[in-house]
Structure 1
Amino acid sequence: MRLRASILRNMLFFKLAQSVEKIGKSCFLKFTPDYVCFGAIHSVGDNDPAGGGGAVQCWSRVAKKHLFTDYKSESNCDNEIYLEMKVEDILLAMRSSSNATAVTMRMTGKSVDAYLSFSITSEDHIGNSRTITQDVPIVRIMSRDGAMTTTAFDEPMVPPPEVHIMLPPLDRLRHITASYKNIADYIVMSSNLSGEMLLSTTDGIRSFSHYQQGLDSHAIDARYGIAAKAQIETKFSGLVNPQLTSVEERYDDGDGEGPHNQRLRERPKDFASVMVKIVDLQRVLQSHCVKPQSVICSVIPHHSLLFLVYLDSAEEAALTYFIPEPSAQ
């Protein structure tokens, strides 16, 4: 088993690790000859970061050309390598390479004593170069069968999203949700296809079991029992509703349009709403630290939120976050 590569100077490899830091303590990596997968899961009450359903999840699949040069992955499993590592250990290497002129990565050791070794070269102010090595422990090397049972590598199966909306700056949303957290544990995120988004605090109790058509903000309040104690509501308008062609094609039922386009044609001002835990939303908003190019939220009513975090201008370099709506109370 061999793994080696030179990390591109945009440090996207480390940015991906930094983005999953708030999701789970463990980061799951899949190296193949053509791409690299990152995955992490946060399961409340579950000590196994790779297990459990209904959890906040983050995953990414990035082509090798966006991460490395001189890349090679070799193994007896079709040259695929599956690793579990502690995110904080990877970030230690990231901090050491912040001013590096070159970073190379290779897998060293065997079995229970394996490492990802990062050789980091930097120059001082007079041009002298020096190289240090950071050996990052590998928690475990997984077999293909072991990786198949690790849900961090799997994209959750979800119903078709009905609304895609470009989020405002993540820093702004972080400050808003920080103030929400002082009075509530849950937040209702509502968006429509007229560029509007509502954020409302709620006590987490749903008043009735099905979403209704044409909900305005007051109807959304009734739907979730928002007015129980105190309430904060923030409204955004003038946001962009992007067309995600690949998503629409995936859920096309044969009539040439997916659920997003159908809603756009029939009821663009109707809100689609999902209730999530504020702390879970804040975990996603921590991706502001990697300065994403854009963030798109896809709303799956009565089910979950999906966040597509694009780390650069290439759509292939993206993270996807999944936040499920808690079970009815």
Structure 2
Amino acid sequence: MRFKASINNITTFTKLTASLNSLGPLAWLKLGDDKVCFTIIPEQGTQVWAVLAIDAIFSTYMVQSAANNIINLEVPLGPLNRALRSALNATSAQIRLTKKADNMPLLALTVVNPSSSSSISAIPTRSVDDDEFGSFLDEDHASATNRDTIITQEIPVRVLAPDIVAGLHEPQCREPDVHIIFPPLMQLKSISDRFTKLALAGASGMSARTRLEMAANMHGCLRMSIKTDAMNISSVWTDLSNPELDPNQVAGGEIGLAEHPSTRMKLLGSADGQSEEGWASVRIDGKDWGKVMSVGRLGGRVIACFCHEHALILYVYLPSERDEDESVLTVSSNTSVDLRGTHTESS
């Protein structure tokens, strides 16, 4: 079992782990030949499924295992994010799977930082016998000059057997009633946080949960609102885009597209948002929604799919010079108290 890769996009990797860490402390990391997947499936809260193209983060990527060259790891996101933050100004960074003498598996992040003084010599590189996880350092790191400082940080992980993860799969959901391209998530987060604080400030006694209502139609309108005994406030966005569905991606082709829920919803409502017809809405927990919105720090396009009174699913596409749609986070929350996902289903 071997994994090693050079990191060519430390900033994106750091933002990704920070966003995921706000949703859960542990992630299932699936390393494969053609993609890398991060998954968070907490007992309660939002579930995330992130599928990343290899070159979105890594270069000189190598993974080998007896299980079809797939390695499954349980990774603590906090320590991983802290290690990555220390590499933001590094001239190079490499990550690999190795283990300590007591056979404890770990991810070793080795970074080369330019030294502020030539008198600082490189930190001695510790070598580990070539084992089932591979050797510890590559020759390019070992040959760093005395003007560079080599730092290695170790993140304990747990190797997951294939049968442990065999039953895990992305949640299935019915076809959405409305799909719309969201405004910047950080803009939505600031407004939803303000709504939540206002509701909590005006609440008398202990309030169980602050519920936001998110709604959208097929005419480019999005509405966020909150209603309590003391207030009823909302924000409305218009002139947003509703992406066209590809008949080749819809069951039944052109006929299936004509019968799709979003096609029927498009016949209702209006672009000014005044009509109450044609809206799909979900209720979500304000605090959980604020955590979900933290993925907005990654930038990129966000497509929201509304299943009326059931689920809200967000597809967050990471920016890429080659193909914007190669890497995507799916965040989901359902209409119960729990939020699940790399789709965002509402609660």
Q: Does 1:312 align with 2:319?
A: yes
Match of 1:230 in 2: 231
Provide the rounded CA distance (Å) in 1 between the counterparts of 2:266 and 2:3: 50
Q: Given residue 190 of structure 1, which amino acid in structure 2 is its aligned partner?
A: A
**The residue matched to 2:112 in structure 1 has which SS?**
strand
Q: Given residue 231 of structure 2, which amino acid in structure 1 is its aligned partner?
A: A
* Counterpart selection for 1:119 from 100, 110, 133: 110
Match of 2:162 in 1: 144
* Counterpart selection for 2:150 from 128, 131, 137: 131
Match of 1:276 in 2: 284
Q: Given residue 198 of structure 1, which amino acid in structure 2 is its aligned partner?
A: R
Distance apart, 1:265 and its partner CA: 4.7
Q: Does 1:78 align with 2:59?
A: no
Match of 1:220 in 2: none
TM-score (norm 1): 0.80
TM-score (norm 2): 0.76
In 2, are the aligned partners of 1:9 and 1:101 still within 8 Å (CA)?
A: no
Q: Does 1:294 align with 2:319?
A: no
Q: Spell out, residue by residue over 1:160-199, the C-alpha distance to the aligned partner (whole angstroms, 9 max, x if none).
A: 1121112222222122111221316101111011111111
Q: Which of these two proteins has the greater Rg computed from alpha carbons?
A: 2
**The residue matched to 1:287 in structure 2 has which SS?**
helix
Provide the rounded CA distance (Å) in 1 between the counterparts of 2:82 and 2:10: 17
In 2, are the aligned partners of 1:296 and 1:307 still within 8 Å (CA)?
A: yes
Provide the rounded CA distance (Å) in 2 between the counterparts of 1:75 and 1:23: 29
Q: Does 1:324 align with 2:334?
A: yes
Provide the rounded CA distance (Å) in 2 between the counterparts of 1:71 and 1:42: 29
**The residue matched to 1:20 in structure 2 has which SS?**
helix
Unaligned runs of 5+ in 1: 45-54, 204-227
Unaligned runs of 5+ in 2: 119-146, 201-209, 271-277, 338-346
In 1, are the aligned partners of 2:217 and 2:266 still within 8 Å (CA)?
A: no
**The residue matched to 1:312 in structure 2 has which SS?**
coil
In 1, are the aligned partners of 2:186 and 2:297 still within 8 Å (CA)?
A: no
Aligned identity (percent) is 28
How many equivalent residue pairs?
A: 288
Provide the rounded CA distance (Å) in 2 between the counterparts of 1:172 and 1:26: 27
Provide the rounded CA distance (Å) in 1 between the counterparts of 2:252 and 2:14: 36
Match of 1:212 in 2: none
Distance apart, 1:321 and its partner CA: 0.4
In 2, are the aligned partners of 1:164 and 1:243 still within 8 Å (CA)?
A: no
> CA-atom RMSD, angstroms?
2.4
Provide the rounded CA distance (Å) in 1 between the counterparts of 2:87 and 2:245: 35
Provide the rounded CA distance (Å) in 2 between the counterparts of 1:186 and 1:81: 39
